[in-house]
Structure 1
Amino acid sequence: MSLTILELKLLITAIVVVAYVVSRMVMIQLLRKIKRKFNYAQGRYKSQKKIFLMILAIVMVVALLLIWGVDKSQLFVFISSVLTIFGIAFIAKWSILSNITASFILFFNHPIKIGDRICVLDKDFDLDGTITDIGIFYLYIRLENKEIISIPTNIFLDKMIKTFEN
């Protein structure tokens, strides 16, 4: 029994779709565990979940395009263009993408979390308050006088932070 090329492509497509569904469920469970472990806010979890699921969907679409015969050189040009944009996001301070990148760094590798009392040390004046939210673009701090200050996430990573015991 020999499979035709069309049947083989359909079989591989089904395998990729099943792998996507399983990977999506695993990714959501992993993010939920991280949320519980570090006591992250629901908004922060949702934004990170959207980004990770979007990346997973892009990987699936690229795999399907390769299966169904899209020219690899055209796909390579497209992928390298996207990677160049992300490379600029890691470097450029003015880029909106740099805020998204900084949000990932804050989510996974920075010791602060929502509810922590911190002091952002600055040469002009210090900001002393409690972190109320960490979004994709901004980190929000409630000051002692109840004002809420938003700091772009990429700028926050450049600042020295003093934390206080809760």
Structure 2
Amino acid sequence: MQRSLKLYLPEWAQDWLDIIVPGLQILLILLTALLLQHLLRRLVSRASQHYALPHELLVPIKALLRWTIMVSALLLVLERLGMSATVLWTAFTGFATVAAVAFFAAWSVLSNLFCAFLIFTVGPFRVGDTIELLDTADKPGARGRVVDINLLYTTLEDSLGEGTGTLLQIPNALIFQRVVRRWKVGTQVPAAPPPPAL
């Protein structure tokens, strides 16, 4: 392409051709990345409206998309600037390995994040529902009205505790390890059994 352009350009512009062509390619990569990021954000927003996904789930999805596109665009720009694809791939896989080790080190946090994703998508309960976590079906456990679901904890307003306003923060991973009894918003919740005497 540069040879064919050199035939039609004046003599003074031919010296700048080695700078202009990569510069235009880099500009095209960046514009494509911005356009792709904008389109994917709109697609995720429309999907969230259609499936009524909570905002807490959209934030990490949009961040993951943004960072994936930015890193990909950066790798393409570096390649256009003359870095070897082998060097880039080696650096990327080294970084990915370190990131994987860090993720395994924080396994409990990742487990809670994944369980939060499942709570948001599957919807075993919603904010406002009253739930009870049971070790077995015949033993009472933590019970309360769901007041918040975030990426790490589900917060219950305790209905078994003494006094009002007591909040229980239960890790999301623990919810998937227990039997959950659920009363939807607007249904009559039976009185909690008294705690066993010591």
Range class of TM-score, shorter chain: 0.7 to 0.9
**Counterpart mapping for 1:65-144 below 5 A:** 65-69=74-78, 71-86=88-103, 92=107, 95-122=108-135, 125-144=140-159
Matched AA of 1:129:
G
* CA deviation after TM superposition for structure 1 residue 12, in Å: 2.3
* CA deviation after TM superposition for structure 1 residue 51, in Å: 1.0
* CA deviation after TM superposition for structure 1 residue 148, in Å: 2.1
| Partner Cα separation in structure 2 for residue 48 and residue 30 of structure 1 | 12
Structure-2 change in CA distance of 1:32 and 1:81 (3 Å): farther
* CA deviation after TM superposition for structure 1 residue 159, in Å: 1.4
**Poorly superposed stretches of 4+, deviation over 4 Å:** none
- Residue 50 of structure 2 corresponds to 33
Tell me, which stretches of 5 or more residues in structure 1 are unaligned? Answer: 37-44
1:152 pairs with 167, 171, 177, which one? Answer: 171
Structure-2 change in CA distance of 1:149 and 1:32 (3 Å): same
The alignment's C-alpha RMSD in Å is 2.5
1:129–1:141 CA contact under 8 A, matched in 2: yes
Tell me, which stretches of 5 or more residues in structure 2 are unaligned? Answer: 3-19, 80-87, 188-198
TM-score (structure 2 length as normaliser): 0.66
TM-score (structure 1 length as normaliser): 0.77
2:131–2:181 CA contact under 8 A, matched in 1: yes
1:162 pairs with 170, 178, 181, which one? Answer: 181
2:134–2:178 CA contact under 8 A, matched in 1: yes
Q: How many residues align?
A: 154
* CA deviation after TM superposition for structure 1 residue 75, in Å: 1.2
* CA deviation after TM superposition for structure 1 residue 21, in Å: 1.0
After superposition, give the CA deviation of every residue in 1:61-105 in whole Å (9 maximum; x if it has no partner): 21112211261210122123324444555xx3xx32322222112
Secondary structure of the residue that 1:68 maps to in structure 2?
helix
